[in-house]
Amino acid sequence: MKKQSSEWKFPRTRIQWLWDNMEGYRALYVLCMIGTVVYNMLQLTVPFFSAQIVDKFLTGDHASENLANMPDEFIRLLCAMVGFTILRCALVYWDCMTYEKVSQAVLFKVRNFLYDKIQRQDMKFYSTYRTGDLMTRVTGDLDAVRHMVAWVIRMLVEAISLVSATAIYFLIMDWKLALILLSVAPLIFIIIYIFKRMVAPMHALLREKLANMNTIAQENISGNRVVKAFAREDYEIEQFDKCNTDYRDTNKKTARVWLKFYPYVETLANLLSVLLILCGGLFLINGQMTMGQYVAFSGLIWAIANPMRQLGNVMNEFQRFSAASAKVMEIYYSEPEIKDSENAIDKPERFEGSIEFKDVSFQYSDGKLPVLKHISFTAKPGETVAIMGETGCGKTSLIHLIPRFYEPTGGEVLVDGVNVKELKLSQLRGNIGLATQDVLLYSDTIDGNIAYGDSEISREEVVRFAKYSAASEFIAKMPEGYETIVGERGVGLSGGQKQRISLARALAVRPSILILDDTTSAVDLETEKEIQESLRNLDFNCTKIIIAQRISTTKDADQILIMQHGEITERGTHQELIEKGGYYAELVKLQVG
Amino acid sequence: MSRRNTYKEDEILEEPFDIKHLLRASEYIKKHGIKMIIALVVSAMGGAAALVSPMIVRRALDVAVPQADKQMLFRLVLIACGFYLLSVLFTTIRSHIMINVSQDIIYQIRSDLFAHLQKLPFQYYDDRPHGKILVRVVNYVNSVSDMLSNGLINVVLEIINLIFIVAFMFAVDVQLSLVVLAGVPVLMVFMFWIKNKQRVAWQAVSNKNSNLNAYLQENIVGARITQIFAREDENADIFKTLSNNCRKTWMKAVSYSNLVWPGIDTISVLVRAAIFLFGLLIFSNGHQTLGTIVAISSYASRFWQPIMNLGNIFNGFINNMAYLERIFEAMDEPVTVDDAEGATKMPEIKGEVTFDNVSFSYEKGKEVLHDVSFTVKPGESVALVGPTGAGKSTIVSLISRFYNVNSGRILIDGQDISKVTLNSLRSQMGIMLQDSFIFSGTIEDNIRYGKLNATTKEIIAASKTVCADNFINTMSKGYDTEVKERGALLSQGQKQLISFARTLLSDPAILVLDEATSSIDVQTEKDLQKGLDAMLKGRTSFIIAHRLSTITKCDKIMYIDNGGITECGTHQELMAKKGDYYHLYTAQIEGLEAG
């Protein structure tokens, strides 16, 4: 586990960051905090009225006379007590709802922002963060942020306003008794401060454990086929149990930290009541205060004691927010290394589709060896380039440089004569149709999957592209045709079927550059022939880069590149390469049998 | 079968609100019965200790102050101190116990849910976005943690608390107590009204959250696809809509929840006013002392405190019930593929596989296999060929009993596989799927998944056999290189090799290769062939491959089409037959030679 560096590495502090994201709601939020102060003040009014009632009509020398002479006032005081409470309740409701509203607005804003941040990150980001961890940040961690805005801050405002208003009221009524009672406060603050420092690392740890559990569960669910294939259910349960136990124990430990402080805080809070009986009683005996004042004190003592009790809880939540918000902000302020350059060329028109690799070298940042070494080749608009080579020779890495998933470590990749670094990512990628090796479909209808790149296209077009990729036949056989929902990752479809949908999806954007990364490997040969045929007769011009293992897929290419260990070792047409008698000729021999 | 679920639709909860969810939750609590009882007793004592203080105050005000008896005042204060300390002690003990109990309950629910998920068939995972399953295991269980720890337990305590308060109150004055209790019926009506509204609202929240989660997870996994199709803006809009749905449902739900507290508060102040009115009437008649009214008034506020707490707990209950329902729903999901009653352990498999009139369909009315029968002798290698989607993968999935057949039987060594335990069956099978899944962890861990107690030596040996050793050694940390679930570090072919090594390591009696080498280049495959031959020797194996060069040597080739086996025989036999296989094969050769 990485240790949290003590240095704050973001441009804004947590509170500033919250404030930034409260834009549009700041005035409301301040109003809301004022509302909190007001309703807490109102809360103090009930005892005020009841004290008056007790003083005037229940005790005192003229109690029965007062009652006889001023029944109206008695009723008025009662009405005021009830009226103010109802007013306060209405205000509390408005206030709580406003806190919710603002917190939801912040949540909404940050959540959308995070989502967008995540989806625009480069591949390096995705190989750093696990899915479960990212999920934790957008869900659990963000909820702690929401909770801060909706609850923690409200509680703080409430505590501060209650304690200070009560303190002032007490001081006005009887400063001596008030000072005695308030002497407890500094002790509480010291205890809470120590608690805050002790519990902070626990919350950071707790959220790590949560993220771990999330990751294990997420991968178990995604990999459920492998789990079952190896009958590893027990092992999985064991692995999950470790995380689950870990999380539970950390939760217990965190809770116990508070439990160490709880008795002191609680005792101090109770000490207030004890001091009140003792000193209040003495003052009463000495005639230094009236019974009404005493009742007011005793009726309000909670307004100091409860916030004290609550403070521990508030601190706990505050620390949870601290730990979580740091995780959220890490994503919030992260910048992908691959993004539009400042003076990117605007090229809104359709690309011609020429591709040029100029002495391109590439190495993964966490790799030991270069993956591509001095690659140079050119594909003219409309040409087909086939790339073949051993597993792991760098074919996929090579094509990933065209849509700029990675930056080459040397040389340049040019599309339409422009270095891809100078192009706008959305325009560059908008002109590329890529069908990846590892087919990822979404849990959506087949129609929705094919139209993924361009949701505007009509059903007729979807069907046409499905025909191009020889998928229309099997789709038509499905119970709901194009409306059939394929599960996550396209479960329910065979490998070949998934590949064909992925191909239709890539074609549906009518790309100027079509890249097929071993897209027909699981398709039977006859179907593949069909696909080859339609690829030759597309109704739009497009340059094709095709990675394949089968000679039948590549033999008609204008240019065949053979890669070995990151280098192009042979190039030419099918005929030329056979005549050359190298690796390719060997492949042909192997495959024809 | 119901339609597959996506992030766009809410999952419909078929069960109506049921008290049985609560009872079921209490099953989890029962296991901690003794601890719970101790906690309850301790809490009750703590509550009782805290309740004594108003009595002391009353005595101080009624007796000590008027008599100016300072000695008595000191004594009373000392007694109060003692009781306060006792109550702190008791509540601390209670919290200690409760922390353990609550966390253990949550742990147990989560464990049970996860264990149940392991038993659920592919179908369950295929029918809904994975994010929706995940949110139940992690987020929902976390949400109910609060309800079950503080909630269920506090309910009992608050009720005990209430009983005590009511008892004390009655001891002080019956008439005034009745006035205090008069507020209760009003409260009941209020709570009943709000309960139904709240429940529906919180269910909506859970649905919308689940949708958001589903979308989020798919898009994190599919980020590359999003980027290549430059669909970020559109996705952001969809996410915004989902996010906004969450916000709207949340606001609606809290608009009810937040009513509870002010509602109770209003009722309580009305009661307080009533006490003064009645108290005054009675007091002016000379029945009551001033101390009584002050004490009752204090009890009244103490009476409303637990009621408010109950209101809050009730709030939590209602909103967490929406989550609890989802958790229990997943736990109740029937395990369609499970050990039969009295299932025996599959003895060591020799490898004879028989399909006896097997019919199968994923969805009702659409048979994928119809009356398929064949027998494979131990040690034979069988290739399945045919058009995509013909049912080749289905046949091999049935051998491992990933699905139950509609009719017919599948026998291994004469033993009906539906009569043996799943674990004993599957642990003897080695299946390499098209989709090679890589877990986060080191490469070594990923290979070791096939045999958990394998030594590093065995792992390296397996990797060498499948030609994976070479590329693994070129990686930054060799076998210790960390790979991620969707890590770009490995090419598809490399993933397949790792998954090959994993399968080899598991030393299966029956081997299934489902397009296992589709992404591996021909050259590597040729090298691999030696290892593969060794692997196939003496094992019954089923191979699905489009590249026919890999299967010509198989003992038996079955051509699958239209839900059945249309041709079966050796390569030579089938070629001589000049049927479907012949066409397939010649097409491939022609395809190669035409260039």
Q: Examine the domain organization and report whether B197 and B317 are in the same domain.
A: yes
* Final residue of a structural domain among B331, B360, B376: B331
- Percentage above 70 pLDDT, chain A: 95
Say if A180 is an interface residue toward chain B (CB within 8 Å).
no
pLDDT of residue A59: 62
On whether residue B135 sits in a domain, the answer given is yes
Q: Is B473 on the interface with A (CB under 8 A)?
A: no
Say which CATH number the domain at B411 has: 3.40.50.300
Q: Which of B211, B199, B204, B146 is nearest to B319 (CA)?
A: B199
At position A142, the amino acid (one-letter code) is: L
Are B592 and A278 inside 8 Å of each other by CB?
Answer: no
The mean predicted confidence, pLDDT, of chain B is: 83
Q: Is residue B446 part of a domain?
A: no
Q: Which domains does chain A have, with CATH numbers?
A: 13-332 (1.20.1560.10), 355-592 (3.40.50.300)
Distances (CA, A) of B421 to A5, B344, B358: 51, 6, 20
Residues B220, B316: one domain? yes
Range of the domain at B114: 17-331
Whether B243 sits inside 8 A of A108 (CB atoms) is: yes
For residue B480, is it within any domain? no
Task: Say if residue A186's pLDDT is above 60.
Answer: yes
ipTM: 0.86
Which range among A23-37, A324-338, B272-286 shows the weakest confidence by mean pLDDT? B272-286
Give the residue from chain A lying closest to B422, CA to CA: A231
A71 touches B: beta carbon within 8 Å: no
Which of A230, A253, A565 is best to mutate for the B interface (most B CBs within 10 A)? A230
Q: Is B366 found in the same domain as B271?
A: no
Q: Which residue of B has its CA nearest to A450?
A: B229
Residues B155 and B276 in one domain: yes
If you average pLDDT over residues B194-206, what whole number do you get? 87
Instruction: Give burial (CB, 10 Å; 0-12/13-18/19+) of A306.
Output: middle
| Residue B1 confidence (pLDDT) | 37
Q: B559 and B574 in contact (C-beta within 8 Å)?
A: yes
In a domain, B5, yes or no: no
Task: Say yes or no for a CB contact (<8 Å) between A277 and B60.
Answer: yes
The answer to whether A412 contacts chain B (CB < 8 Å) is: no
Lowest mean pLDDT across A262-266, A447-451, A552-556:
A552-556
The reply to whether B383 falls in a domain is: yes
On chain B, the residues whose CB falls within 8 A of the CB of A350 are none
Residue B548 has pLDDT above 60, yes or no: yes
Question: B234 in contact with A at a CB cutoff of 8 Å?
Answer: yes
Going by pLDDT thresholds of 50, 70 and 90, the confidence category of residue A447 is: very high
Say yes or no: B273 and B170 in one domain.
yes
Kindly state whether residues B383 and B308 are assigned to the same domain.
no
Asked whether B317 and B147 are in contact (CB, 8 A), the reply is: yes
In this complex, the residue of A140, A232, A492 whose CB is nearest that of residue B362 is A492
Segment A119-147, tens digit of pLDDT:
888 888 887 888 888 989 999 899 999 99
Q: Does B265 touch chain A (CB under 8 A)?
A: yes
Question: Which among B80, B213, B521 is the nearest to A549, CB-wise?
Answer: B521
Q: How far is B280 from chain A (nearest CA, A)?
A: 7
Average pLDDT over residues A82-102: 92
Q: pTM of the entire structure?
A: 0.85
Q: Is any Cβ of chain B less than 8 angstroms from the Cβ of A551?
A: yes
The residue with greater pLDDT, A202 or A296, is A202
Q: Is the pLDDT of residue B520 over 70?
A: yes
pLDDT surpasses 70 at A18 = yes
Q: Pick from A207, A228, A351 the residue to mutate for testing the B interface (most B CBs within 10 Å).
A: A228
pLDDT of B341 strictly over 50: yes
| B257-267 average pLDDT score | 87
From the list B258, B294, B423, the residue facing A97 with the nearest CB is B258
pLDDT attached to residue A4: 46
Residue A486 pLDDT > 90: no
Q: Report long-range pairs for A168-177 (Cβ below 8 Å, ≥24 apart).
A: A169/A44, A169/A300, A170/A297, A170/A300, A173/A289, A173/A293, A173/A296, A173/A297, A174/A283, A174/A288, A174/A289, A174/A293, A174/A297, A176/A283, A176/A288, A177/A276, A177/A279, A177/A280, A177/A283, A177/A289, A177/A297
How many Cβ atoms sit within 10 Å of the Cβ of residue B104?
18
Q: What is the mean pLDDT of residues A382-395?
A: 89
- Asked which of B283, B303, B331 is the last residue of a domain, the reply is B331
**Distance to chain B for A49, nearest Cα, Å:** 10
pLDDT at residue B559, as a whole number: 92
Place of tokens 């049935």: B398
Q: Are residues B374 and B293 in the same domain?
A: no
Judged by CB atoms closer than 8 Å, whether chains meet at B240 and A112 is answered as yes
Q: What 3-state class would DSSP assign to A71?
A: helix
User: Higher pLDDT residue, A195 or B305?
Assistant: A195
Whether B486 and chain A come into contact, CB under 8 Å, resolves to: yes
Q: Which of A80-89, A182-191, B386-395, B482-491 has the lowest mean pLDDT?
A: B482-491
User: Is the CB of B287 inside 8 Å of chain A's CB atoms?
Assistant: no
Residue B300: its pLDDT value, please?
74
Within a domain: B530: no
With 50 as the cut, is the pLDDT of residue B16 above it? yes
- Touching check for B580 and chain A: CB below 8 Å? no
What is the DSSP secondary structure assignment for residue A481, as one 8-state letter? G
A474, A488, A519, best to mutate vs chain B, most B CBs in 10 Å? A488
pLDDT at B419: 92
Q: Does the beta carbon of B289 lie under 8 angstroms from any beta carbon of chain A?
A: no
Asked if B586 has any chain A CB less than 8 Å from its own CB, the reply is: no
A483: DSSP letter:
G
pLDDT digit string (tens) for A168-179? 988 998 888 899
Among A20-34, A546-560, B535-549, top mean pLDDT goes to: A20-34
Residue A287: exposure state from Cβ atoms within 10 A (0-12, 13-18, ≥19): exposed
pLDDT at B289: 63
Residue A322: Cβ within 10 Å count: 16
Sequence-separated (6 or more) residues with CB below 8 Å from residue A399: A387, A434, A515, A517, A545, A547
Same domain? B393 vs B251: no
Taking a C-beta distance cutoff of 8 angstroms, is the pair A443, A510 a contact? no
B316 and B390 within one domain: no
Q: How many CB pairs under 8 A join A and B?
A: 493
Q: Which of residues 293-322 of A touch B (CB under 8 A)?
A: 294-295, 298
The pLDDT, as a whole number, for residue B294 is: 66
Is the model more confident about B591 or about A172?
A172
Q: Across chain A, what does the average pLDDT equal?
A: 88
Tally Cβ neighbours within 10 Å of residue A26: 12
Task: Report CB contact under 8 Å: A135, B5.
Answer: no
Tally the C-alpha atoms within 13 A of residue A468's C-alpha that lie toward its C-beta.
Answer: 22
Question: What's the helix, strand, coil split of chain A in %, to 5?
Answer: 65, 10, 25
- Which residue type is seen at B591? G
pLDDT class for B239, splitting at 50, 70, 90? very high
pLDDT band, residue A489 (cuts 50/70/90): low
For residue A158, is pLDDT > 70? Answer: yes
A491 touching B (Cβ < 8 Å) = yes
Q: Per the domain annotation, does B464 fall within a domain?
A: no
B588 touching chain A per CB within 8 A = yes
H/E run at residue B285: none
Model pLDDT for residues A237-295, shown as the tens digit of each residue: 999 999 999 999 999 999 999 999 999 999 998 888 888 888 888 888 888 888 878 87
Task: Please report, for the domain that includes residue B145, its CATH number.
Answer: 1.20.1560.10
The total number of structural domains that make up chain B? 2
**Is residue A391 predicted with pLDDT exceeding 70?**
yes
Q: Could you say which of B77, B389, B588 has the minimum Cβ distance to residue A552? A: B588
- CA of A165, closest CA in chain B: separation in Å? 21
Q: Is B344 on the interface with A (CB under 8 A)?
A: no
Winning range, highest mean pLDDT, from A246-260, A428-442, B208-222, B418-432: A246-260
Which of the listed residues B303, B331, B359 is the one where a domain comes to its end? B331
According to the model, what pLDDT value does residue B593 have? 57
As a whole number of Å, the end-to-end CA separation of chain B is 48
pLDDT digits (tens, 9 = 90+) for B452-469: 889 999 999 999 888 888
> Do B82 and B229 belong together in one domain?
yes
- Interface contact A443-B6, CB threshold 8 A: yes
Q: Does B387 lie in the same domain as B267?
A: no
Q: Examine residue B569 and state whether it is found in any structural domain, yes or no.
A: yes
Cβ–Cβ gap A217/B137 under 8 Å: yes
Note whether B316 and B397 are same-domain residues: no
Pick the closest to residue A326 from A213, A198, A204, A206 (CA basis): A204
User: Which residue of B425, B438, B491, B507 to mutate against A (max A Cβ within 10 Å)?
Assistant: B491
For residue A111, name the pLDDT band (cuts at 50, 70, 90).
Answer: very high
| E-state strands within A166-322 | none
